[in-house]
A and B are shown apart, each in its own frame.
Chain A
């Protein structure tokens, strides 16, 4: 099987859509007054909940985590959307999603009252987006449709 321009175009569109999602999540958080990660972290469940709770209860740490999340989302979003430093953006996005997944893991017996709009067991949308980013990291989509093409040059073999 070959990596054809057509296939890479569709993978690039997928990458841009995830980029749009990250970017908008980040923008909303930056523009809402007094947004913090408190609510998200304090409602954490699962085997790492005490770790996430501890991030929420320390004011200094909470401020740092909130800032990191807001701007992390924006930067990763821009990276994916524009296809710049694509592979590192994919990894960073996957890492962030791993945190989200572990903060509210859809494991057996865990019931979420707030903030969940569907029904999940082990697999949720965070995990699917995470795996998608891993898949995208394996393809040079930024060098096909993205600023990486201008920085690192186009893919030679195509």
Chain B
């Protein structure tokens, strides 16, 4: 008996030999967790102090009880995209997306039906109106093809007009539409000439109709969040902002398809130049118009406009007081006259927001825009403030500044580090959607110009932007890129074009709303813009 007992005791000891170590593990893990938790709590407390709002913006409804009839003028690359944003895609395109971009097609199919129909289409290239009719015919309804924008604008069967033509024609069409009491969605840049900016603003104000300018990046969640960050003074006094465009492919350099397989007769050239120029038929001017000042505005109108409006959407700083710009043609020596590398410096000496320093150090800001069509390195936009720097791409990073006044205490006790982000936000996280296909598409996506995410679902931002316009027409609510924001965009783009072309500093007189070019007395602005 004794012997059996002895063995049993030893068995128990040997059986449970590791239990004390289990206790040790429990104790050590507990301590480790506490340290981790405390430092996490410190970070959460700090984030709570920053109080950055990352809630989704209100999702507007596009639909309404009454069917809205739309007309579209200009159905090229952008016009086609706008039709898609409205819910109309060509069957061939749909097949192509099914093969090559199934996730984008999915996003398209999930778009809200806004109860709109296309009743009028107008384009100077017949092939495009043919395609548009095929895309927009539904349930026995077919849009009417108009030969001139005037007839389309005057048609009683149209409530609102979408304009996606060459820059040259934006304002004449918008004016005709407003005159006939139609609402207007207009692509950027708002205008081609300076005189048009004033004219269009007046016409919109007098008509009481809704104008939305096509800066769809305003719909991005990250932009809304960035706005909140700036307004809450997280970055302190912002004194320098750097933004950019980099693209390095033919499409990004406006070398668009010229449809050589279609005869010249299918293009209404006379109407294209009517009232402006006397130039013989030229396919380059018709299809690749962005490369020529006569019809487009190059980098300034096509891409600086987006970059500027993005910053204006976040900082709401308005028109710069001074603009200096320069550029050249360094890659695409194909006969174009607009630069393919450009930089523009915009001065806002009176810019002032929430700040943390003593008075006297809180005013003035420079916005630097640089662009290359010969390199596609992705550069995030940087907002540099006294207390921190915000990097904005598809996502948002905020880094505290080592010399910050507002975060001094936190920096001193090492609860935050200048090299480490104090805030990171990625609206697309959790939604593993790969919608980026080509280099230029990648550029668009990084600048918030392609897709955004709502509840983990990819949504085309153009769809949201045009939906906001439709919503404004139905409810009377002011759209986010109205004529007021458009006025600022147009003036700024024109200043940049003039500064680039003349090599002189361009000044804006805010009080009198007048432009001046350094060293030039009474310049003919409109003439300078198109030559």
Q: Which residues does A use to contact B, with CB under 8 Å?
A: 16, 19-20, 23-24, 27-28, 31, 42, 56-57, 81-83, 144-150, 153-154
**Chain B 419-443 near chain A by CB (<8 Å), digits 1 or 0:** 0000000000000100000000000
CB-based contact A16/B21 at 8 Å: yes
CB-based contact B33/A16 at 8 Å: no
Query: Within the complex, which residue of B14, B22, B432 is in contact with A82, where a contact is CB–CB below 8 Å?
Result: B22
**Assuming the A-B contacts A42-B432, A57-B432, A147-B16, are A81 and B21 also in contact, with contact meaning beta carbons closer than 8 angstroms in the complex?**
yes
Q: Which of B1-41 contact A (CB under 8 A)?
A: 7, 11-12, 14-19, 21-22, 25, 29, 33
CB-based contact B18/A16 at 8 Å: yes
Bound together, the chains give a CA A90 to CA B200 distance in angstroms of 78
Query: How many A-B contacts at CB < 8 Å in the complex?
Result: 46
Bound together, the chains give a CA A17 to CA B15 distance in angstroms of 16
When distances are taken between beta carbons in the complex, the residues of chain A under 8 Å from B19 are: 82
B243 to chain A, nearest CB (A): 29
Bound together, the chains give a CA A134 to CA B333 distance in angstroms of 68
Q: Which 9 A-B pairs have the closest CB atoms?
A: A150-B15, A149-B15, A145-B17, A16-B18, A147-B15, A27-B29, A145-B14, A149-B11, A81-B18
CB-based contact B25/A20 at 8 Å: yes
Q: Which of B39-82 contact A (CB under 8 A)?
A: none
Report whether over half of chain A's contact residues are helix, strand or loop; otherwise say mixed: helix
**Assuming the A-B contacts A82-B18, A82-B19, A82-B22, are A150 and B11 also in contact, with contact meaning beta carbons closer than 8 angstroms in the complex?**
yes
* B contacts with A, residue count (CB < 8 A): 15
**Assuming the A-B contacts A23-B25, A150-B12, are A31 and B33 also in contact, with contact meaning beta carbons closer than 8 angstroms in the complex?**
yes
Report whether over half of chain B's contact residues are helix, strand or loop; otherwise say mixed: helix
When distances are taken between beta carbons in the complex, the residues of chain A under 8 Å from B25 are: 20, 23-24, 81
CB-based contact B432/A146 at 8 Å: no
Bound together, the chains give a CA A82 to CA B15 distance in angstroms of 8
**Chain B 254-270 near chain A by CB (<8 Å), digits 1 or 0:** 00000000000000000
Bound together, the chains give a CA A150 to CA B11 distance in angstroms of 7
When distances are taken between beta carbons in the complex, the residues of chain A under 8 Å from B12 are: 150
B212 to chain A, nearest CB (A): 36
B203 to chain A, nearest CB (A): 51
Bound together, the chains give a CA A153 to CA B7 distance in angstroms of 11
CB-based contact A145/B11 at 8 Å: no
**Assuming the A-B contacts A42-B432, A82-B19, are A144 and B29 also in contact, with contact meaning beta carbons closer than 8 angstroms in the complex?**
no
When distances are taken between beta carbons in the complex, the residues of chain A under 8 Å from B15 are: 83, 145-150
**Chain B 74-98 near chain A by CB (<8 Å), digits 1 or 0:** 0000000000000000000000000
Nearest neighbor of B8 in chain A, beta-carbon distance: A150
Nearest neighbor of B16 in chain A, beta-carbon distance: A147
CB-based contact B21/A20 at 8 Å: yes
A35 to chain B, nearest CB (A): 13
When distances are taken between beta carbons in the complex, the residues of chain A under 8 Å from B29 are: 24, 27-28
B11 to chain A, nearest CB (A): 5
When distances are taken between beta carbons in the complex, the residues of chain A under 8 Å from B7 are: 154
Bound together, the chains give a CA A81 to CA B25 distance in angstroms of 11
Bound together, the chains give a CA A56 to CA B25 distance in angstroms of 31
Bound together, the chains give a CA A148 to CA B29 distance in angstroms of 26
When distances are taken between beta carbons in the complex, the residues of chain B under 8 Å from A42 are: 432
